[in-house]
Structure formats: structure tokens, C-alpha cells
Structure 1
Amino acid sequence: MIEGKIATAAMGNSPEAPFSQHFATATHFLIYDTATGHLEVVENTARDLSAGKGVAAAKMLIEKRVKGVVVEFIGPRPFSMLQEAGVKVYPGIQIKAQDVLDSIKAGKLSQPLEAPTETSHTGQHGDHQE
């Protein structure tokens, strides 16, 4: 089991919110502390940026001292930033953020990703480039 804070991308501010497939455009990050059981909900203000969404979101989570992030799609720049900061990125394909939180609590996360799940393709899908 991972010790420390694990963030999951969500499309709302509660565990019942849908899991966000895209790291950069999640409306919120739910940060669960495995040591204390505390759940912190943080708004992803980076999603409103015209560029650099993923980088700004990664920086915020690094500043929050998370040890892991669960997301389905993440671009190369935020992925590299998280890796360089020692944050593991775990694959997640769930329906609700609560599903991810349950996996974290049970110590059943998949192996961390070794590469980003998206390539940079600026201009095609505004939420995929970062």
C-alpha cells in the first residue's frame, strides 16, 4: 500500500463525482491521505488556463506533497514533472472517484505508469495538449 497522499482526478467535488479521464481538465482533485484517512478536495483552477493546464495542475499537486496520482490520460509534460518530483502516476479507468478511493484504501492500485498515456497534439482536443 502507498503511504501518503494520493490524488484522483474528478469531475466534481465529492467522491460520488465522475472520475475524470483527463488530468488537465479535471474540475477537482480528491486527495486521500492513507496515513490519516483524511480526504481533501482541491479545485483544479488550472483547467481554465488557455495553455499549460497539465503543467499547472502537476505543480499544484507537487506543492500539496502527493505521492501518487490516479488518472486515465496524462500528457508528457505533466507526467515528466510528476515523475521528476517522485510522484507515481497510476492508471485509472473507473466510473466514480469513489471507486478510485476504494482501490487506494484497499491497497489495490495497479503498477505505476512508465510513460504518459497521451502524446502532445496541440489544437486537436483542447484538453489533450498538456
Structure 2
Amino acid sequence: MDANTGQNPPERTLTYAEDLTPEDVRALEAFLYVQLERVCDGVGETGETSFAMRSLLRLISDSAGFLRTLIAAERPNTWQRAAIVREWQRLRSTAHEFNHCDGYDHGRWWHQVRHFDARDQAAEQNRIHQAR
């Protein structure tokens, strides 16, 4: 909380995947675990739905771990850059389904990231312009 205004500071806005930090990924992953734990508690330990929930939790863990590894790359190459955007969007879209739940903070991690950086965005705009 800001001592001068008495308000919480605004969250930073994610524009590009290069702006993602491991903390962003961990926070989104933690949010998903909390939300899915609620569902798992209601489902119980047996049955197809329980199996599906455990599989979803593994997929989230794998996706978040892969994303953190990619973010740690000092100079990610083309496929890594594309994978960072894809994995963030995968986790983000999974979390989006919990928009109605308590604890959802729309302004924090949920920004859609379509490009790795400004250069990627400019290159895409150039391709679109040339295709016209």
C-alpha cells in the first residue's frame, strides 16, 4: 500500500512475453492450484472426473515448469520465443475459466500476450501488410 495515497500500487501491465518473470508464472500456477483444489475436493478421490482432475494438475505443473525454464533462457531462439507465448496463453486461458471465483485478480496476470517482443510484433504486422 502506498503510504501517500493509501492505495495499492497498480500492477504492471504485460505487453510482451519477454516481460514475463518466473514470479508471474508461479503466481498464476498457484492461483490455478487453489482453484482446482476446490474442484478436486468436491470430486473426491475416485472416478473418471478425479482422474481428469489429476491429469489437469499434471499438465498445469508441466506447462508452468516448461515456461519457467524457457523464461530462464538468456537469449531464447525462435522456437523458444514462440513456446513462451504459447505456454503463457495456455495457462492464462486455463485460469480464465475461473474468472467468477473468489481470488481472481483480473488486472494482475491475465493479460493476453501475443508476441514475444516489439520486434516480433512489427514482423507480424509487416507480414500482414505484405499479404494485402
TM-score by length of 1: 0.28
Give the structure with the higher percent helix. Answer: 2
- Structure with max Cα Rg: 2
- Bigger RCO of structures 1 and 2 (CA < 8 A, at least 6 apart): 2
Q: Which has the higher strand share?
A: 1
